[in-house]
Amino acid sequence: MGGSVRFVLASSGHIAGIINPPGGKGTYWVVEPPVRFESAEAWRENATKHDGSWWMDWSTWLSERSGGWGTPPGMGSATYLPLESAPGSYVLEK
């Protein structure tokens, strides 16, 4: 694929990081590219520690690479007609 790689090491797993909201406990480390190291230990010694969730860092990284907001495509097709408007009545069922 090419390009520079930016590796972020987080103190929580990918599931815990997604479930827990931004802020609060947690720590993550990052080294900005194009710096490379011969070992994981060398990387960690040179990484910058950040307290808190990696969410905001990730959000910033994504926004720098994303386009603007656009109009979503229409629902359904000629073969599969939409049943109802989003989010659908099933979300209201108990």
pLDDT digits 0-9 by tens, 10-30: 887 666 656 666 666 788 999
Burial class (CB in 10 A: 0-12, 13-18, 19+), 78: exposed
Supply the pLDDT for residue 25: 74
Supply the pLDDT for residue 38: 93
Q: Are 30 and 58 in contact (CB under 8 A)?
A: no
Query: In this model, does residue 1 exceed pLDDT 70?
Result: no
Supply the pLDDT for residue 79: 95
Supply the pLDDT for residue 40: 94
Supply the pLDDT for residue 80: 94
Average pLDDT over residues 39-50: 95
Q: How confident is the model at residue 39 (pLDDT cuts 50, 70, 90)?
A: very high
Query: In this model, does residue 52 exceed pLDDT 90?
Result: no
